[in-house]
Amino acid sequence: MNNHILNHLPYKSSFRFVDNISLLSENEVRGEYTLKQDSFFYEDHFAGNPVTPGVIITEIMAQIGLVVMGIFLMLKESDLNFDDDTDLYPLLTSTEVSFFKMVLPGQKVTVVSKKQYFRFGKLKCYVEMLDSEQEVVARGMFSGIIKHIELKK
């Protein structure tokens, strides 16, 4: 239903951490991602006992909680539409994240983001990651901008 926005994400398969967007509005986004057991970062983090690195947890939260909402808001307020082939690039400007639980290979997580403000092209969101039992894995405040960049051809 809301997955049309995924076509606008600037990430390739090995670094796209969004499987599904189940809720998308001007004020909130909810999405899911299942961590692939063969992901490149598990090989050495930690050998024999793989755990999802905090930077990957942060990236999942940013992609779903900030980038998806930011692209949605940019497309909504501009003359672009969801079918246009646009070049929108997310630029994360700040994060403040607290971690509470580990995330293991194969685990499905849900990210819920609530907009704090969107003005002058800057978006700030309160983002939480939940595990399959709906327990908080991580939470924090994310800020960034989504730029429309004209590519030289």
Per-residue pLDDT tens digits for 82-133: 445 556 667 888 899 999 999 999 999 999 999 999 998 899 999 999 999 9
Residue 81 lies in a domain: yes
The verdict on residue 153 lying in a domain is no
Domain count, the chain: 1
Instruction: Summarize the confidence of residues 19-35 as an average pLDDT.
Output: 97
Which residue among the candidates 4, 8, 45, 148 is catalytic per the annotation? 45
Residue 25 structural domain: 3-148
CATH number of the domain at 67, please. 3.10.129.10
pLDDT on residue 139: 98
- Does the pLDDT of residue 153 top 60, yes or no? no
User: Which pLDDT value is given to residue 49?
Assistant: 93
Residues 130-140: pLDDT tens digits? 999 999 999 99
The predicted-structure confidence for 49-85, as pLDDT tens digits, reads as follows 999 999 999 999 999 999 999 988 888 877 655 445 5
Distance in angstroms (rounded) separating the CA atoms of residues 132 and 136: 10
Does residue 8 carry a pLDDT above 90?
Answer: no
Q: How far is CA 141 from the centre of its chain?
A: 13
- Kindly state whether residue 130 falls inside one of the protein's structural domains: yes
Q: Is residue 41 part of a domain?
A: yes
In a domain, residue 50? The reply is yes
DSSP state of 7: G
DSSP at 141:
E
109 compared with 40, residue with greater pLDDT: 109
User: CA distances (Å), 48 to each of 2, 42, 44, 45, 108, in order?
Assistant: 38, 9, 8, 9, 21
The answer to the question of residue 80 being in a domain is yes
User: If DSSP codes are grouped into helix, strand and coil, which group holds residue 51?
Assistant: coil
Q: So what's the pLDDT on residue 88? A: 66
Tell whether the torsion through CA atoms of 12, 16, 18 and 19 is positive or negative: positive
pLDDT at 39 over 60: yes
- Using CA atoms, how far apart are residues 60 and 58, in angstroms rounded to an integer? 6
Strands (E), the chain: 20-24, 28-34, 88-99, 108-119, 122-130, 136-148
The verdict on whether 8 is a catalytic residue reads no
